[in-house]
Amino acid sequence: MNLNKYIPVGIVIGITITACSANQPKGTISGKIDGAQGKTIYLESFINNRSVRTDSTVAGADGSFVLAPSRNLELNFYRLLVDDEFVTLITDSTESPEITANLEDFTKSLHLSGSLESETLHELELKSEPFDNKDVELKKKMTAPGITPEEKNMLNQELITNRKARTDYIKSWLETHSTSPAALLAIQHLDPRTDMVLFNRVFADLEKPMGHSILYKGIKQQVQMFISKDKGADQGGAPSASNIAPGKPAPEIALSDPKGKTRKLSDLKGKTVLIDFWASWCGPCRRENPNVVKAYQKYNKDGFEVFSVSLDKAKDPWLKAIADDGLIWPNHVSDLKWWDSEAADLYGVRSIPFTVLVDKDGNIIGHNFRGSMLEEKLKAIYGH
């Protein structure tokens, strides 16, 4: 459960911090990152639904650093970045987080102290890592050459068992940690249709300390809209799954791209198209983007296209995410209506990322091809 690296209780993972950071005043962030000598270390805050680099410092000759924010920090989520690595903190100006790591092996070498909720978050990620690793291992085996249908079925059952174990662990963790802001990240791996009691508990416990945060507001609103849409579907108010069933013609999507040009899904007829519902604020979407880029780079010359439908509600973060993630295909559209997106409603989208693969005749092949599963399907279509 990588939790988008955003991401247990209160165990201080012991390591001696260098003398330069041992007695820093409250509100500073300090530590030592081997390999970061002379590099700029940034503090990133979340403002108006997007991440903004608000402060920075330069690491010394031994990788030591002290970063003093230019303003008092309210209790919230922050990111400390150096090169392409980052750690998420949950802190405020009453704490002084201390960090040690090796830039060459940042995630495994990372140690945190001086910030209780940041340590809680880090511990949750460490305890969840074995589930994530097993997921990756099983998916790799399922796409190995020569695997038989029987073996693939056994591996799929093992994958289902592993995911259930991960869900059970998260539920157990939430029973004793619903007051930790880290719970806002943990509940995103649960289904509100079956675990609404836990969602409501987290929202109630964190309303006072975290109700001001973008993450709290966004998740709560998303869950409320999800439940509302799900009820509407039960009453016939939303498209049924049969409308986008394999073999059916893909419903037309005609929306504006970032320059205001209308782009239509039907204009791509004759090509295999991945309709990708995503958003700049969606962590799982952003983690999946490199897989989509890889598939596009490999198969675009063979006639593979990506039609990206963003559920953003502001243009700037949408454009920034396109640039930051290297989404180099031209077909990016959005009506900037968030969960009220007309295209998302047309396709009955309940969560993202959500993908629909369409054949060259405009008919639906299937849904939610991601990572190795997408690559395997495209390999079967194009023969390489």
180-192: pLDDT as tens digits: 999 999 998 888 8
Tally of CB atoms within 10 A around 222: 19
Question: How far is the C-alpha of 181 from the C-alpha of 209, rounded, in Å?
Answer: 8
Structure tokens belonging to residue 36 = 């970061």
User: Hey, which bits of 155-303 come out as E strands?
Assistant: 254-256, 262-264, 272-278
**What residue has token string 């502001």?**
314
Domain boundaries, the chain: 3-122, 126-234, 241-382
Whether the CB-CB separation of 273 and 357 falls below 8 Å is answered with yes
pLDDT tens track for 37-60: 999 999 998 765 567 899 999 999
Judged against a pLDDT cut of 50, whether residue 279 lies above it is answered with yes
At the top level of CATH, the class of 241-382 is alpha beta
Give the percent of the chain with pLDDT over 70: 88
User: Element (H or E) spanning 382, and its range?
Assistant: helix 371-382
Question: How far is the C-alpha of 382 from the C-alpha of 180, rounded, in Å?
Answer: 48
Tally of CB atoms within 10 A around 83: 13
User: Hey, which bits of 218-285 come out as E strands?
Assistant: 254-256, 262-264, 272-278
314 phi and psi, to 5 degrees? -140, 140
pLDDT tens track for 333-378: 999 988 888 898 888 887 788 899 999 999 998 888 877 788 888 9
Predicted confidence band of residue 232 (pLDDT cuts 50, 70, 90):
very low
**Which ranges of 211-274 does DSSP label H, i.e. alpha helix?**
214-234
Provide the CATH number for the domain formed by 3-122 in this structure: 2.60.40.10
**What residue has token string 């073996």?**
151
Looking at residue 342, its pLDDT comes to 87
Segment 85-105 mean pLDDT: 94
Structure tokens belonging to residue 377 = 């399907």
Question: How far is the C-alpha of 167 from the C-alpha of 160, rounded, in Å?
Answer: 11
* DSSP labels, 67-117: E--SSPPPSEEEEEEETTEEEEEEE-TT---EEEEEGGGHHHH-EEES-HH
Question: How far is the C-alpha of 267 from the C-alpha of 250, rounded, in Å?
Answer: 12
Judged against a pLDDT cut of 90, whether residue 193 lies above it is answered with no
Predicted confidence band of residue 282 (pLDDT cuts 50, 70, 90):
confident
pTM summary value: 0.59
CA 296 to each of CA 246, 283, 300, 353: distance values in angstroms, whole numbers, following the listed order: 22, 20, 5, 17
* Among 286, 274, 291, residue whose Cα is nearest residue 356: 274
DSSP state of 241: G
Structure tokens belonging to residue 351 = 């969560």
What SS3 class is residue 248? Answer: coil
Looking at residue 25, its pLDDT comes to 63
What SS3 class is residue 153? Answer: helix
Looking at residue 287, its pLDDT comes to 83
Chain-wide mean pLDDT for the chain?
A: 84
Whether the CB-CB separation of 98 and 91 falls below 8 Å is answered with no
Whether the CB-CB separation of 126 and 133 falls below 8 Å is answered with no
Looking at residue 234, its pLDDT comes to 44
Provide the CATH number for the domain formed by 126-234 in this structure: 1.10.132
Judged against a pLDDT cut of 90, whether residue 13 lies above it is answered with no
Whether the CB-CB separation of 357 and 377 falls below 8 Å is answered with yes
Segment 4-14 mean pLDDT: 28
Whether the CB-CB separation of 113 and 204 falls below 8 Å is answered with no
